[in-house]
């Protein structure tokens, strides 16, 4: 863990020092930036393993920083956790759609942010599942080759779109996806998948999954995630 580098970007010195202390205590190497411009400059000189990025920054804001990074072939795979004030749901959604991996709202608990950071870093080092390979998660088995889902060994009959949604979410546990991202990833043949229809699809999916419905979590104002 000591070799993992975290870049913290915030224009509040107190927050920078708080996060520097907490991440350093866990063995991470921590760099800090008080502006979006400085953050982009630091990334050019050394690629971090994770960026904790405040959205409200002077000059280049956090969303623009995210856009720059995701358009940079050398930096697009850096995980990003965005920090945002409560009530800024539109900014959270935009940040996730630009490619951020997670978010934490201010005021926040350093312990929760640290746990989120560890989860994101764990996902980064895991070898990604091939989209065609069957896999088990919790008490579900999902088999894309046969487009089948089993809960505790029992098959669940899903529509084309319902299967696409659970396959997409379950392969990326813990990550929050907006409705727009789900629409882009899942193109249903038996149902016109739209931003609004995602909620209907999730409702039907939960009914069919029975007790396993608890694994699909609603993130209010943002979208959905599969429980890690």
Q: What is the pLDDT of residues 191-204, one digit of tens each?
A: 566 667 889 889 99
Lowest-confidence segment of 22-31, 95-104, 125-134, 219-228 by average pLDDT: 125-134
**Tens of pLDDT along 10-57?**
999 999 999 999 999 999 999 999 999 999 999 999 999 999 999 999
CATH level 3 topology of 5-125 = Rossmann fold (3.40.50)
Q: pTM for the full model?
A: 0.75
Q: Which phi and psi (to 5°) does residue 13 adopt?
A: -60, -35
Counts of helices then strands in the chain (DSSP H, E): 8, 12
- For the chain, the structural domain boundaries read 5-125, 135-226
Identical fold between 5-125 and 135-226: no
Q: 135-226, which class in CATH? A: mainly alpha
Total residue length of the chain:
228
């Amino acid at each position: 863990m000591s070799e993992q580098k975290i870049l913290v970007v915030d224009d509040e010195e107190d927050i920078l020092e708080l996060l520097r202390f907490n991440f350093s205590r866990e063995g991470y190497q921590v760099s800090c930036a008080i502006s979006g411009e400085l953050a982009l400059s630091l990334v050019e000189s050394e690629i971090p393993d994770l960026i904790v990025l405040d959205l409200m920054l002077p000059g280049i804001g956090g969303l623009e920083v995210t856009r720059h990074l995701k358009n940079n072939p050398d930096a697009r795979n850096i995980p990003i956790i965005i920090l945002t004030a409560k009530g800024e749901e539109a900014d959270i959604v935009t940040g996730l759609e630009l490619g951020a991996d997670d978010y934490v709202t201010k005021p926040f608990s350093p312990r929760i942010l640290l746990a989120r950071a560890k989860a994101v870093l764990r996902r980064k080092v895991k070898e990604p599942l091939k989209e065609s390979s069957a896999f088990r998660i919790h008490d579900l088995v999902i088999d894309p080759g046969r487009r089948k889902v089993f809960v505790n060994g029992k098959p669940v009959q899903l529509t084309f779109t319902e299967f696409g949604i659970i396959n997409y979410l379950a392969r990326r546990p813990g990550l929050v996806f907006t409705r727009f991202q789900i629409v882009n990833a899942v193109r249903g043949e038996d149902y016109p998948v739209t931003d609004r229809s995602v909620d209907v699809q999730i409702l039907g999916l939960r009914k069919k999954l029975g007790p396993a419905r608890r694994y699909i979590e609603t993130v209010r104002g943002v979208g959905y995630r599969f429980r890690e």
